[in-house]
Amino acid sequence: MHFMCQKEGPTKGHRKHEAVLDSHQTTFEPPDAKVVSDYDLEPLDDFAMILSKSTDFPDFTETKLKDQPFIWNDLDITFASFMNDEMAGPQPPFQHSVAEQSSIPRAPTPNARSMIARPRIDNKSQRTVKLIMRTLKSYLRMMQQDNTLPPFIHPGLATAHVGHGRMEPMANCMSLMRMLNSEVRGSNKLFWKNVQLESERLLAECATMTRLELLAAMQALSIYIFVRLDEGETNDNDLDEMLQATVTKIAQLFNCQAYTPDRHTQPTELVSMWQQWVIKESINRLCLIYRIIDMLAYFTPAALCDLPSELLLAPLPARKQLWDSPDEFSWSMESSKDLMGPSAFGLTAKGDLLRLSGRELHGAGVVSGEGVGGDDANWEEWCSGMDGLGALVMLAASLVG
């Protein structure tokens, strides 16, 4: 499984109207104390011409009106007319009262949410969804504890050094999760404010990141998405579009980059075949996470995971012994036990488990569906080597089966 490689407006601010109000001091002379009737509008002619030429307003920023009094005693003129006259563009000749030509603009609407929970009809599906959500929430607790990580984040990558510092996206994520775990008043609002700033930073800097940094960024963003799904929709976590846009851009950049070890990589860090396998397996697991999120809520980045149409989740996580290998030597010894090569399994859309044979492996995972099919896999064979992520896969299978 791999991410499909794809190639890729200003906000309209509210203008201040104080200058517009002040500007009429030099052009508008109030009428006499008499009541102006609908048939006697001559005193307003000059003012009406000013309103009909909203695009010809001069620059009032340099106008000095400090010593000029401003008289406002015409009841036919409303503040709403000034609020909308300039936004309405050129106006036809003055025909009606100013109050009838304008209205106060509507307040801006909040951002529409995109990660909406998928509807579930039967009680069995609802219970399974709750179990999946509790499993994802347990990953958040792992991030808040020392020396524990979710089963889709490899310890070797979480502590890898790029240049002279740690993997910044993952380090920031760990710090933010610990802050969220503190029971300080306002910590939740501060958490999401920092998530927004971190997402903006990742969008701005992802083009210059190495492949390891891009992977760490996607893993960190998945943690923030777990928090968002757990909390539901709140005023503080209104970042659905930003989170999905950041994941999409980084995933595309990741898959478009050919893996080359960073020139700052030290000899003591992850290297060689083990490092490449860890990166490949990490992407496979991250794609599984994205696909499972999409089973719970509408999550557009899941479509970036290139997968044959017959399969729902594939390839499933590798054996626990391979994933938990602490170094390259241990990983090599464990890999040698697979005389016929590592077994690969996939979950179909009907909930069946298939052994994937004759696959072509390239980049981060499966790129061809030619090998989909083969013999029915034995659930016991895969379960005998599954790790912590296996429980999540089995829950997903029961949801579609």
For the CA atoms of 390, 395, 398, 401, the dihedral, rounded to the nearest 10 degrees, stands at -70
SS3 for 349? coil
pLDDT at 250: 96
What helix, strand, coil percent values describe the chain, rounded to 5? 45, 5, 45
**Measured CA distances, 82 to 13, 15, 58, 65, 88 (Å):** 17, 11, 15, 19, 10
Which segment of 47-51, 53-57, 67-71, 360-364 scores lowest on mean pLDDT? 360-364
Would you say residue 141 has pLDDT above 70? yes
Which segment of 5-19, 135-149, 202-216, 359-373 scores lowest on mean pLDDT? 359-373
For residues 380 and 386, give the distance between their C-alpha atoms in angstroms, rounded to a whole number. Answer: 10
Which of the pair, 90 or 111, is modelled with greater confidence? Answer: 111
The one-character DSSP state at 81 is H
Give the mean model confidence (pLDDT) for residues 50-74: 46
Would you say residue 54 has pLDDT above 80? no
Distant-in-sequence, close-in-space partners of 154: CB < 8 Å, separation ≥ 6? 278, 281, 282, 323
pLDDT at 66: 45
Give the mean model confidence (pLDDT) for residues 165-173: 82
Within the chain, what is the greatest distance between any pair of CA atoms? Answer: 104
Would you say residue 217 has pLDDT above 90? yes
What does the domain layout of the chain look like in residue ranges?
18-101, 112-400
Which of the pair, 263 or 384, is modelled with greater confidence? Answer: 384
Which segment of 17-26, 170-179, 349-358 scores lowest on mean pLDDT? 17-26
Would you say residue 292 has pLDDT above 60? yes
SS3 for 162? strand
pLDDT at 305: 87
In the chain, what percentage of residues exceed pLDDT 90?
41
**What are 307-319's pLDDT values in tens digits?**
888 889 989 999 9
Would you say residue 170 has pLDDT above 80? yes
Would you say residue 63 has pLDDT above 90? no
For residues 123 and 142, give the distance between their C-alpha atoms in angstroms, rounded to a whole number. Answer: 29
Which of the pair, 128 or 257, is modelled with greater confidence? Answer: 128
Confidence of residue 97 (pLDDT cuts 50, 70, 90): very low
Give the mean model confidence (pLDDT) for residues 260-268: 47
User: What predicted TM-score, i.e. pTM, was given to this entire model?
Assistant: 0.69
CB-based contact 206:214 (threshold 8 Å): yes
Which segment of 208-217, 261-270, 354-363 scores lowest on mean pLDDT? 261-270
- Count Cα neighbours of 384 within 13 Å in the Cβ-side half-sphere: 6
Distant-in-sequence, close-in-space partners of 345: CB < 8 Å, separation ≥ 6? 314, 315, 316, 353, 354, 355, 356, 377, 382
Which segment of 201-210, 243-252, 309-318, 355-364 scores lowest on mean pLDDT? 355-364
Average pLDDT of the chain, as a whole number: 74
pLDDT at 324: 92
Length of the chain equals: 401
Displacement of CA 26 from its chain's centroid (Å): 51
Give the mean model confidence (pLDDT) for residues 68-89: 47
pLDDT at 2: 65
Give the mean model confidence (pLDDT) for residues 362-390: 62
**What are 220-253's pLDDT values in tens digits?**
999 999 999 999 999 999 999 999 999 999 999 9
Surface-to-core class of residue 67, CB atoms within 10 Å of its CB (0-12 exposed, 13-18 middle, 19+ buried): exposed
